[in-house]
Chain A
Amino acid sequence: MDSRIQTIAVIVTALLLLLVFELVRRRRLMERYALLWLLSALVLLVLAAWTGLLEKLSGWVGIATPSNALFVVGFTFVMALLLNFSLAVSRLSDESKILAQQVARLDQELRAAQRRLAEAERGDFPEHAGEPTLVRQEETVGER
């Protein structure tokens, strides 16, 4: 591999590694998401610096230009990272759905309780035939 390309590749991947490390250190990036980034930066750095390994690798898979092998590895990591993000987004939207549903339910229960309290303070006790009573709801919570 051309030594100029090699120098640039080493510098860029080293910077990437440093950037990810720094982001984790400042708690801007959670370790959970940083692992894959660290792994890809590290592997790319090793391949960029260790010319012999990259050439051997290219020889095995039949890539004529070793720098193309570096691109292939880099692209593979990009795909892996994207999939990782899709997984994270799916989990987050699932979690936010559950949170929204719980907030909505608590909000409804709170409003119902406040209404009953206001009615009790006014001194009228209307029938709650169809409506759940507070006691009943507490029982349900206790069962969980």
Chain B
Amino acid sequence: MPLSALDKKLAIVPAYNEEESVARVVAAISEQCPDFDVLVVDDGSTDRTAERAERAGATVIRHPFNLGIGGAVQSGYQYAQRNAYDLAAQVDADGQHDPKYLPDLTGALCADDQIDMVTGSRFREDAGYKVPRVRRTGIMLFSALMSLIVRQRVTDPTSGFRMTNRRGIELFARDYPHDYPEVEAILLMHAHRLRMREVPVRMSERLTGRSSITNPLSAYYMVKVLLAVVVGLFRSRPAIEPGGEAPVAAQRGI
């Protein structure tokens, strides 16, 4: 797939009570990457997130109540699928993900038509990103585990700065993990034999708000994701979709 200006590109911005930063993020994307349409998925916010996003020029989907990050991101992919987008990227509403890397992601995705998803990794090179040691240990554990399962190096399995093509969009519109979906999404892609790679990015500190993974919850997070990964390995083969443009043959296990 050549890098073409005709491709329809969508930036999915899941937002939950991010009125302080969402407008800045939307503006940054439309300014730096005018070829991207911006979709903000307002996941049942109780503040003025939807209003500010709309005023900043984004299309807004409003959930009637909070579904969690997985449900919000999936809504974005469903919108991308219904409106026939060729590429969809996930960008956090808190300002962690700098849209200036979107062309890097697009380039990496379009350069090789074997690749279905590109993830922006904080740890691919020494990008100088400081994370608390506890979280870093957790990320390293998942990194080792996921690398073992998908048999390629996954340095940043918890990064939500991702871009995927039509095949990824269709898969995620149909099936996307629930609570802390980034790690499980890698497993899902692997099970459907979609390929991924990483490109180095720098992430900035959050503009406002707090991470959805707060420290007391990290242990719960890790156990939950580990359970999901282990159970996922034993799940029966996902159904093979008829009529796919490429053999999306599902594969099970390690």
Contact = CB atoms under 8 A, between A and B. Distances in A.
A112 to B, nearest CB: 7
Interface in A116-141: 130-132, 136-137, 140
B1 to A, nearest CB: 20
B71 interface: yes
B86 interface: no
Given A100-B64, A100-B65, A131-B37, A105 B83 contact: no
A108 B60 contact: yes
B197 interface: no
A130 B37 contact: yes
A101 B75 contact: yes
Interface residues of A, number: 15
Interface in A34-89: none
B82 A137 contact: yes
A137 B59 CA distance: 15
Contact of B62 (A108, A132, A136): A108
Nearest to A111: B60
Interface residues of B, number: 19
B56 interface: no
Interface string B36-80: 010001000000000000000001111111010001001100110
B84 interface: yes
B63 A104 contact: yes
A107 interface: yes
A5 B234 CA distance: 47
B83 A137 contact: yes
Contacts of B71: 97, 100-101
Interface in B184-242: none
Contacts of B63: 100-101, 104
B61 A105 contact: yes
Contacts of B41: 104
A103 B79 contact: no
B82 A105 contact: yes
B250 to A, nearest CB: 21
Contact of B64 (A104, A112, A136): A104
Given A112-B59, A130-B37, A132-B83, 5 more contacts: A100-B67, A108-B60, A130-B8, A140-B83, A140-B84
Give the 9 A-B CB pairs with smallest separation, nearest first: A132-B83, A108-B61, A130-B37, A104-B61, A104-B63, A101-B75, A140-B82, A97-B71, A100-B64
